[in-house]
Amino acid sequence: MAQCTLKPDIDFTRKLAEAGGDSLKKCYQCATCAVACPMAPANAPYPRKEMVWASWGLADKLKSDVDIWLCHNCGNCSDLCPRGANPADVMAAARNTVYQDLTEPKKVGELMSKPSGLPILFGIPALLWLIVWWIRAGYNNGNWFPTRADGSIVFGDIFYGDYTIDPIFMLTFFGALFIIGKGAYKLWQSFKPEGKLTMIGEKGCWLCHLWNVLVEEVIFATHFDDCHAGPKTGKATPGRRVGHTVLVWAFAMLAFVTAVVALGHWGGKVIPAIEITTPLNPLNLIKVIANVGALMLVVGLAMLTLRRLTENKETHKSSYYDWYLLGIIWAVALTGIFSQIFRLAEAAGPAFLVYYLHLVFVWMLFAYLPWSKLGHLVYRTVALLYVRMYGRKG
Amino acid sequence: MSNAILVVGGGFSGLTAAIEAAELGHDVYIVEKSPWLGGRVAQLNKYFPKLCPPSCGLEIQFQRIRKNPLIHCLTMAQVVGLSGSKGNYTARIRLEPRRTPSHNVDFTFMASALDGERDSEFDLGLGKRKALYKAMPFAYPARYVLDTETLSKADMARLAGNAQLDFNEKAREIDVQVGSIVIATGWKPYDVTRLSNLGAGSVKNCISNMQLERLASPFGPTQGKIVRPTDGTTPHRVAFVQCAGSRDQNHLNYCSYICCMATLKHCLYFAEQHPDTQITVFYIDLRAPGRYVKVLEKVQALPNVHFIKGKVANVVQAKGDTCEIQAEDAIRGEKLTLTYDMVVLATGMQPTLATEKLPLPVPLDADGFIAGGEEAGIFAAGCCVMPLDVTRSAQSGTAAALKAVQTVKGR
C-alpha cells in the first residue's frame, strides 16, 4: 500500500484562523457544505476537502487549490453548516493567506494582514505626496494653497501632472501590474498537478475562455446568481450581484476617464487636436462620465457595506481584508468627490488637503493591490481560466 | 404531608416510575396528555433491545397497573397548576372530556359506520381516523374517545340518543395532594417542516423514521406493509438520511442517540419484508452504543444495505413522486445526486418541554432538557432528561421512583 505522510502545520492553521477562519476547528466533516454549494463540481467538490486541509494545516494543498478561487462566498455552506464551522469564512481566509504570501516583498503582505500595519502603509504615500507638495509649494513662492487670480483652484498648480502625478502613478501602476502578473504566473503553475496531465477532448482557445470569464464574472457577475441555486437554507441571502456590478462598472468608467485624459494630455503633445487640459468643464462629457462613475462607486459601496453590516455575524464574518478593501475604496471615492466640491467652492485649504488625501488613498489602492483582496480580480480570473481550459465549468 | 407521588407522562419511563413507586406502597397519579398510555413506544413496530413489538413490554406494564389499586391513571389530562412545596404539593389537573363510558365498551362496529374523518395523530398523518376512535387494539385504558369536532352531520344523526355517549361532558379540573413529582414528559420527533433543505415535509414519499414505524406496524395505516404512501407500491430503492436535524446547531444541537439504531432496525424491517430493496444509509458517523454494535454488524452483512459517509443536504421532489437527494461521499470525494423511491429522514428526539410549557418549577437547559429541580422533590425520568433508548428510559424511571419514594414520608 502506498504510504502518504501528512505534515500538519499548526502555524498555518493559526494563520488561517487569524485571517478570518477562526471557526475552522469546529468542522466535523459531515459534508453538508459540498452539497450546499451549487458551484461545487460533482468530482472533488469543495469546501469540505478544504476544511480538512485547513484543520491539518496543509498549507501547500490549500494555497495551490484552484477551488478556493471558484468560491464566490455566498455563504450557503455556512448557513447550512451544523457546527458553525463557517466554511465560507475559511475559504475566504485561505484566499487571504494567498494575498499575504503569494508575491514578494512578503513584508507588504504581512503589513496588509492586520490593522497594525496600516500606519506604515498609509505613511509611505503620505510622506511621498507631502514631499511632492513641499517641493511644489516652493515653486509657488512657499504658498501651499495657491489660487488663481480669478479665485479658481487648479490642483495641477501643486500636483503637476507631467512631473509628479503621472510618473509616480505610472511607476506604481506598472509596478503593481508586474508584481501581480508574477503572482498570477506562480498561481497558475501551482494549480497544475504533479506529473503530466493528459487532457482528452477540445481544450478551447485560452483567449475565448478569458473573454467568457471576463464577460460573466467582471461585466455581469452572473455567478452571484448561481449562488442562489443551492438547497433551500431557510435563511435570507441578500443579493450581491447588483452592488458588485455597480462598483465594477463605476471603476471601469473611472478607468476609462483616466485613460482618455492621459491620452489627451500626453497625446496632445504630439497631436494638438486631441489635447485635453484639466480641470475639465463640469458639462464636458468626460467629466460627466467621471462624476456619474463616482456616484455609482458610492452607491455600489453603500450596498456592499450595508450587506456586510446587516449579515448574521454568527455565520458570516467579514475579515480585515474585506473591510480594508471596502474602506480604501470608500476613502478614494469620498476624497475624490469632496476634492471636486471644495475645488468648485474655491475653498483652497480643504480642497488641497482632501486632494492630497485622495492621492494617498489612490496610491494605496494601486500599490498594495497584489496583497489586498482586490487581487481577486486577477487571481480569480486566473483560476477560472485554468479550470475552463481543463474542461471544468467554473 | 402526603406520601402520594405524581407522575407527569405515561410513556415507558413514566409508567415504570409509577409502577415501581406503587409497588412500594405509594399512591401514584399518572397524568397523561393523550387518551392512552404507552407513549412513543406504543407507536413503534418493534423496539430494542430484543426487537419485540410494543404490546410485549407494555402489556406487562399494563397488567401491573391493572392489578395495583394504588395507581390512578388520568388520561387526556394535563397539569395546569402547582402550589405548595416539597412533601406537600397540590397539583391541579385538567381533564379533557372523553365522552365515552368509564368502563370498557367496544365501539368498533359503531366507529366503522361513521364517515367523518381526520388525519390520525397516532399514525403521524399517514392514516385517517374516525370521530370515535382508539389508537391500537391493545390500548390502555381500552376506552374509545369521541371527538365531536370530527363528526359529520350524518354521524351526528347516527349517534344521537346513544346512551353510552355523553355529548355534554365538559372539561373539568381536579386537585391532587402529592409529596413528590416525577416528570417523564418524554420527546417528540423533530419537526421536519423546519428542515428546509431536506424538503421541509413537502416532498412526497420522503417520510420520517417514526412514520416508517407506523407503516411497518401491523396496526398502522397499511397493516404493516412498508409501501410508498403516495401509491402503495413497494419501494425498490430507499435512502436513509441520518442526523436529520440532530447534531446541528440550527436544529437539535446534540446527538439524539437512537436514530442510528432506529435506521439499522428499519433496514431489518426491509430485509424481512422486501429483501430485494436496495437501501443506502447516508451518515456522518454510525453510532451503535454498547452491545448494539452486534446489530450494526448484522445489518452491515446484509447484501442490499449500503453505507455512504456523507450527510444528505438536499432533498427535492423528482419525477413519479420519487425523491432526489444530494450528498457528498466524503470518502471518495464525490458529490452524488441520486433518485430514490422513498427517503426516510432519521429525525431526532426533541424534548417535549422544548416547545410546551409545564407549570412546574424545573430548570431547562438550552435544548429544553430538564436540568435540575431535585431539591424541590421533583425528579425527571426518560427522554425529558436526555435522549435514551427504552431500556435506559425504564432504568431512569426506576431511579426517579426511588428518589421520589425517599422524598415522601412513611409507607
Type of residue numbered A13:
T
Contacts B310 to A, Cβ<8 Å: 30-31
Angle at B278 between CA B277 and CA B281, to 5 degrees: 125
Type of residue numbered B163:
A
Contact A47, A91 (CB under 8 A): yes
Read off the C-alpha cell for B329.
461521499
Please give the residue of chain A at the shortest CA–CA distance from B286. Answer: A30
In this model, does residue B30 exceed pLDDT 70? yes
Compare CB distances from A32 to B311, B329, B337 and report the shortest one's residue: B311
Read off the C-alpha cell for B350.
426533541
Do you know the residue count of chain B?
411
Same domain, B10 and B86: yes
In this model, does residue A240 exceed pLDDT 90? no
Percent over 90 (pLDDT), chain A: 47
Domain that residue B151 falls in = 108-159
Q: Is B64 among the domain residues?
A: yes
Q: Is B182 among the domain residues?
A: yes
Same domain, B86 and B133: no
Q: How far apart are CA B101 and CA B316, in angstroms?
A: 48
Q: What is the CATH number of the domain that holds B45?
A: 3.50.50.60
The pLDDT of residue B409 is: 67
Contacts A33 to B, Cβ<8 Å: 313
B193 Cα to chain A: minimum distance (Å)? 10
Within 10 Å of residue A16's Cβ, how many Cβ atoms? 24
The pLDDT of residue A155 is: 85
Calculate the alpha carbon distances from A77 to A88, A306, A311 in Å.
6, 21, 15
Interior/surface letters A171-193, b for 16+ CB within 10 angstroms, e for the rest: ebeeebeebbeebbebbbeebee
- For residue B212, with 0-12 CB atoms within 10 Å meaning exposed, 13-18 middle and 19 or more buried, which class applies? buried
Read off the C-alpha cell for A287.
467629466
Same domain, B25 and B85: yes
Q: Is B140 among the domain residues?
A: yes
Same domain, B315 and B240: yes
Same domain, B153 and B296: no
Same domain, B16 and B136: no
Mean pLDDT, to the nearest integer, of B182-196?
95
Angle at A258 between CA A254 and CA A264, to 5 degrees: 145
Q: Is B284 among the domain residues?
A: yes
Contacts B326 to A, Cβ<8 Å: 35, 231
Q: Is B222 among the domain residues?
A: yes
Q: How far apart are CA B363 and CA B131, in angstroms?
A: 38
- For A318-351, write each residue's pLDDT tens digit: 999 999 999 999 999 999 999 989 988 888 889 9
Type of residue numbered B50:
K
Same domain, B140 and B238: no
Same domain, B184 and B230: no
In this model, does residue A394 exceed pLDDT 70? no
Contact B386, B157 (CB under 8 A): no
User: Is the ipTM of this structure higher than 0.90?
Assistant: no
- For B343-384, write each residue's pLDDT tens digit: 999 999 999 999 998 999 999 999 999 998 899 999 999 999
Q: How many CA atoms are closer than 13 Å to the CA of B409, on its beta-carbon side?
A: 5
Same domain, B126 and B68: no
- Residue A168 has phi, psi (to 5 degrees) of -65, -45
Same domain, B317 and B359: no
A71 Cα to chain B: minimum distance (Å)? 16
Among B321, B347, B373, give the residue marking a domain's end.
Answer: B347
- For A11-28, write each residue's pLDDT tens digit: 999 999 988 888 999 999
Same domain, B367 and B379: yes
Q: How far apart are CA B353 and CA B159, in angstroms?
A: 38
Asked if B197's CB is within 8 angstroms of A30's CB, the reply is: no
Asked if B200's CB is within 8 angstroms of A31's CB, the reply is: no
Mean pLDDT, to the nearest integer, of B178-200?
94
Asked if A45's CB is within 8 angstroms of B313's CB, the reply is: no
